[in-house]
Structure 1
Amino acid sequence: MLLLVVLGVWLSSASAAKLGVVQTEGGKVEGKNHKMGVFSSVDVFKGIPFADVPGKWEKPKPHPGWSGVLKATTYRDRCLQVTLLQTKTQGSEDCLYLNIFVPQGVKLSTNLPVMVYLFGGAFLLGASNDVEVLGNSLYDGKQLADRGNVIVVTVNYRVGTMGFLSTGDDRLPGNYGLWDQHAAISWIRRNIEAFGGNPDNITIFGQSSGAASVNFQMLSPYNKGLFRRAISQGGVALCPWALQKNPLALTKKIARKVGCSKTNVDDMVQCLKMSDPVGLTMAGKIDILSVTVVVLLVGVVMDLLELAPVVDGDFIPAHPSELFHNAAQFDYMAGVNSMDGHLFAGVDVLSLNTKNATTEKQVKDLLAGLTKEKGSAAVESAYDTYTSHWGLAPEQSVVKKTVADMETDFMFLVPTQTALQLHTRNSNGARTYSYLFNMKTRIPLLPSWVEAEHAEDLQYLFGKPFSMSLIYFPRHRDLSKYMIAYWTNFARTGDPSTGDSNVPVPWPQYTRNHRPYMTINHKINKYSVSYDLRSEYFTYWTTTYSILPSVKRQEEEVEVEEEEKEN
């Protein structure tokens, strides 16, 4: 009995390490300690302000601070945004908060690597605690922190009209959501040491528009020395949906919707600044009726993803492709899911996920929507490239998978590979790594040929097969273990193969002349490393397609010819 009592006392004292009250620049905060194992726990701090309530279309300002101890035990409101079904708004303008997950062992953690997560959601919606299942957010950082022995931070930032509306000049420069992310990273850099983190070893990572945001943060001159590494999952700044090239036209459209249509741009902006934020947010929604119309009129759903960062001459001083010299210092890991484009292709080609046949006309219509900048010549050349392996009578599963591949390549894979190549060309000793995530989809009712859908990697990275074990199989836990090991090793050392976690096989570095990539699924072995990811299609889009004249240029050339004839 005495032995049991002694053992019990020893166990309780051995697992008692927790932070308690932490002093930050704004004041004291106290989180909640969550038991993970006999000798491990995670301190969770929810809803710590990293900036003041932002003014409308203004950069974030420092938080004034608070007295007493802030009880950081509940998530704060997301930033004002439309709901998933786009029927109403949710959230608040008071939304610039972050959440911190600190793993603890027998002793208090110190000098840990820090991983800062930027959520996705088409720059239109999302939150640091989004997608709740059984009371647990998809981005809950406890498993990743505990299993990878890293501090995980998730942050809110403004989205939609309030985060990205721009006139393309000083009147409404735009990029307010990017400034929020930058403010959060800066706050973490200044304060994370008090939580046991190493301010000199911060990795930012994100998915979809969050992944593109990671890339934008790398490319901005404002982030030199603020973080050390970056991971983009299914998105980069070069993606065709990640940059708004005609912001004034979009702002005029939104102004019309809220009754601010004015001939003079200054008057329009003045009217917009006096408009109700909820009405402005609703004006930026994607109209479901528009989706149908766009698809029927030989368009693509990507055209409706309009609110996005802009080249503002400040945070993003030039086109992203010209800014990779700013990213020379950051180790970079980037990749895509094998069917990142399937979700979008299923809207653009309505037969894709049904038993109905996908026809040649539907495939060409999709290509016409994707390549409208280049005109009909691009449709034919792209069609020939993608159908060369079909044979005379291709099975429908082959045709449909090709359609998903087209949209994945155009929207995600080719821009990501381009970003990786630009990173290696500009790198100043920093390392580069490439991957393809292709675990078969877990989404029910999708056709058997569908592999990894957009965002399906996140459940494994955030350890859901462990925290919600009843709805996963052992193979999913294997994959989750591999991903957490590679990602946190990279955050720790800049090399996914080296660190505190064992990995199944070494992941070779991507260089200027040597382009390996890791195929990530539950069967990682020595055959999982391949080279030159989809090189035939990468070459098509970056060489053959890119040198085709644009429709606008063709029109200009015709006008010049006609003028010369008249003269």
Structure 2
Amino acid sequence: MMAFALSLLIGLGGISSFASTKGLSSDGPVIHTASGAVRGVTRDGINMFLGIPYASPPVGDLRWRPPQPAKPWSGVRAATHFASTCAQATQFGVFAGPVSTSEDCLYLNVFVAKGAPKNAKRPVIVWLHGGANLSGESDDYDASKLATGGPDGVETVVVTINYRLGVLGLFSNPAINSEGHPWGNYTILDQQAALRWVQQNIAAFGGDPTKVAIAGQSAGAVNIGVHMLSPLSKGLFSRAISQSSPGFTAWYLPRTIQDQLSANFTKQAGCPESGEESAKCLRNLSVARILQIEGTPKSFNMVVSPSPFVDGTILPSSPEQAWQAGNFNKVPLLGGSTKDEYMFFTGAAEYFTGPPQSSLTAKEYAAKTAGGQPCDFCNFEFSFRSDAAAQYPLSSYGDDPMMAMDRIESDPIKCRELHVLNMISKRVPTYAYDFSYRNAPYYYPKMSGYRPLAAHTIDIQFLFPKWHGGPLGVNLDQETGQPRELNAQETKLSDEMVAEWTNFADTGNPNGKGDAPWPRFTGGDDAKYFVQDIPTSLESVAEFRKQYQCDFWDPRIKY
């Protein structure tokens, strides 16, 4: 479980294409960008510009180098289809895929509601997909509803992007590092290139470059944290939205660990550890060979890491030090996570036991909570120790091992998140949420003993309509196991969330203005979380701490 969860620790964002030819116009709008003109398509009142290059393909000698500017083109480029997905192998079952071997993948998509005045200045949301920085693609996210703002929000220009993943995106090699360019966190460098493209071009699409919110879920949320901490991202955005979770910033690796993991990969690839021949050998590897070492469709190889790391330039120092000292890009932050984050992982573990699947047993739970067994989401050093089992006895959870495991792993995520939000809220306007709705449809098949509740990724469908985790994903009712979409009450919650996200992009306040219904998070026991449930409500930090047992976890988590 530890290795599996670490492979997913930065979260899953599924992969599937929502686009179809239904409702598409044949004569789409033309926009002139700095690199050339693009013709988009229109569907249901939304202009979509798909597959626009924001950088040159990072192939050949450009592998493991900062992204280079896209080459200009003449004439009008068709922006009517998604471009290639970045290279990836690990599919994680029903909730990701397919395999891709393409390095030519640095493309973005723009969604904007049709018919606004030509000179309208809309706020902008740039979406960073999840997928553990190992998998994922922009194709899966239908930004149409966010672009309209829903019935109560603000029309917004939404940009979704692809970026390098896995070893191709996060890698440290002595020869490559000494070439005189920023190195290592190529995933982040790609995203910064996309943000520069937005600053240069988004006004042509009706967007306001002074109102750019970067938003991401899971691995995307981790990367949001890097941009808040990176001096190279300064001035490229003016708000940040971190979904599941701001607390994941604690997972950024020290350089020493990333160096060792990358050296392990280099050795397994059969390349010299250092020198010019090392760089040449690595750049001559086929993508298929890289992915073969990196992992399989079912799991990924722990000789590599999908985590951003402290390289000294892109990410200058540890997040804890930076948050405490105020050394970060000071923009308003909206952040939170789901109530039952770990139910994603217990469900994935059960899925891979079959078919037929078998649930976590009381005996297995006892073994996992025995002294010395690792805690998946505390940090790399913490062990459960025997007192954690005493704190989470099965009898407190109806003798259900999966419910107990959900809490023993979800609670430290929630408490770390609170710790990070407390630090950030001292410096910038901060808004905290707790997504607690436990009955939404989900894409795992119905399995004995398992219910997702408010699992990791379940909230995405409330912002991106019909998001279902991958080409084999179908959203299923949690009770019946039969397909269904959001019902009327859930659609109302979706409308509220879309309004909050687009208001925040516009003003840095999810209410638009004022302090209701979502109060600003100020830290301390009286500060308020906004609870996304049916109906929505508020909870104090004191209530939050009690619910997620933060008095127990705080001294056991290395921040």
Q: Given the two structures, how large is their TM-score scaled by the length of structure 2?
A: 0.79
Aligned with 1:495 (options 495, 509, 520) = 509
1:241 positional shift: 4.6
Aligned to 2:213, the other structure's residue is in SS state strand
The question of 1:316 aligning with 2:330 is answered: no
1:438 positional shift: 1.8
Cα distance change of structure 1 residues 365 and 442 upon mapping to structure 2, 3 Å threshold: farther
1:93 positional shift: 1.4
Asked which structure has the greater RCO (Cα within 8 Å, sep 6+), the reply is 2
What one-letter code is carried by the residue in structure 1 that aligns with 2:555? T
Aligned with 1:396 (options 399, 414, 434) = 399
In structure 1, what is the Cα distance between the partners aligned to 2:116 and 2:55? 33
Aligned with 1:26 (options 16, 35, 39) = 35
In structure 2, what is the Cα distance between the partners aligned to 1:288 and 1:470? 27
Aligned partner of 1:534 in structure 2 is 545
In structure 2, what is the Cα distance between the partners aligned to 1:457 and 1:123? 19
The question of 1:439 aligning with 2:437 is answered: yes
The question of 1:407 aligning with 2:409 is answered: yes
The question of 1:257 aligning with 2:259 is answered: no
The answer for unaligned runs of 5 or more in structure 2 is 1-24, 468-474, 476-482
What one-letter code is carried by the residue in structure 2 that aligns with 1:482? E
What one-letter code is carried by the residue in structure 2 that aligns with 1:278? A
Contact 1:358-1:396 within 8 A present in 2 as well: no
Aligned partner of 1:76 in structure 2 is 83
Cα distance change of structure 1 residues 251 and 305 upon mapping to structure 2, 3 Å threshold: closer
In structure 1, what is the Cα distance between the partners aligned to 2:486 and 2:381? 45
Aligned partner of 2:204 in structure 1 is 194
Counterparts of residues 51-200 of structure 1 (less than 5 Å): 51-54=55-58, 55-84=62-91, 89-105=99-115, 107-108=117-118, 110-130=120-140, 139-146=141-148, 147=150, 148=153, 149-167=155-173, 170-171=177-178, 173-200=183-210
In structure 1, what is the Cα distance between the partners aligned to 2:273 and 2:201? 47
What does the per-residue CA deviation read over 1:515-563, in whole Å, with 9 as the maximum and x for residues that have no partner?
Answer: 3111112322xx444434235633433325549xxxxxxxxxxxxxxxx
In structure 2, what is the Cα distance between the partners aligned to 1:21 and 1:449? 47
In structure 1, what is the Cα distance between the partners aligned to 2:72 and 2:121? 25
In structure 2, what is the Cα distance between the partners aligned to 1:80 and 1:360? 36
Cα distance change of structure 1 residues 202 and 360 upon mapping to structure 2, 3 Å threshold: closer
Paired residue total: 490
Aligned partner of 2:499 in structure 1 is 485
1:193 positional shift: 0.6
Higher helix share: 1
1:457 positional shift: 0.6
Aligned to 1:64, the other structure's residue is in SS state coil
What does the per-residue CA deviation read over 1:82-135, in whole Å, with 9 as the maximum and x for residues that have no partner?
Answer: 1515999414211111100011346446110000000000010111113xxxxx
In structure 1, what is the Cα distance between the partners aligned to 2:252 and 2:299? 23
Aligned partner of 1:420 in structure 2 is 421
Aligned partner of 2:490 in structure 1 is 476
1:141 positional shift: 0.8
Counterparts of residues 216-235 of structure 1 (less than 5 Å): 216-235=226-245
Contact 2:228-2:330 within 8 A present in 1 as well: no
What one-letter code is carried by the residue in structure 2 that aligns with 1:120? G
Counterparts of residues 308-457 of structure 1 (less than 5 Å): 308-324=307-323, 325-346=326-347, 354=359, 356-357=361-362, 361-365=366-370, 368-370=373-375, 379-387=385-393, 395-397=398-400, 399-410=401-412, 412-425=413-426, 427=427, 430-440=428-438, 441-443=440-442, 444-446=445-447, 447=449, 450-457=452-459
1:431 positional shift: 0.8
437-446 or 83-92, which deviates more:
83-92
Contact 2:225-2:249 within 8 A present in 1 as well: no
1:484 positional shift: 0.6
Counterparts of residues 511-530 of structure 1 (less than 5 Å): 511-513=522-524, 514-524=526-536, 527-530=537-540
In angstroms, what is the RMSD of aligned CA positions?
3.3
In structure 2, what is the Cα distance between the partners aligned to 1:497 and 1:367? 46
Contact 1:167-1:247 within 8 A present in 2 as well: no
Contact 1:19-1:108 within 8 A present in 2 as well: no
The higher radius of gyration belongs to 1
Cα distance change of structure 1 residues 162 and 125 upon mapping to structure 2, 3 Å threshold: same
In structure 1, what is the Cα distance between the partners aligned to 2:336 and 2:421? 9
In structure 2, what is the Cα distance between the partners aligned to 1:366 and 1:476? 42
What one-letter code is carried by the residue in structure 2 that aligns with 1:44? M
What one-letter code is carried by the residue in structure 1 that aligns with 2:91? L
Contact 2:85-2:102 within 8 A present in 1 as well: yes
In structure 2, what is the Cα distance between the partners aligned to 1:142 and 1:269? 43
What one-letter code is carried by the residue in structure 2 that aligns with 1:252? A
In structure 2, what is the Cα distance between the partners aligned to 1:242 and 1:286? 24
What does the per-residue CA deviation read over 1:143-170, in whole Å, with 9 as the maximum and x for residues that have no partner?
Answer: 2111241111101100011111223783
1:322 positional shift: 2.1
The answer for unaligned runs of 5 or more in structure 1 is 1-15, 36-40, 131-138, 292-302, 548-567
In structure 2, what is the Cα distance between the partners aligned to 1:84 and 1:453? 19
Aligned partner of 2:253 in structure 1 is 243
In structure 2, what is the Cα distance between the partners aligned to 1:67 and 1:485? 39
Give percent identity, aligned residues only. 30
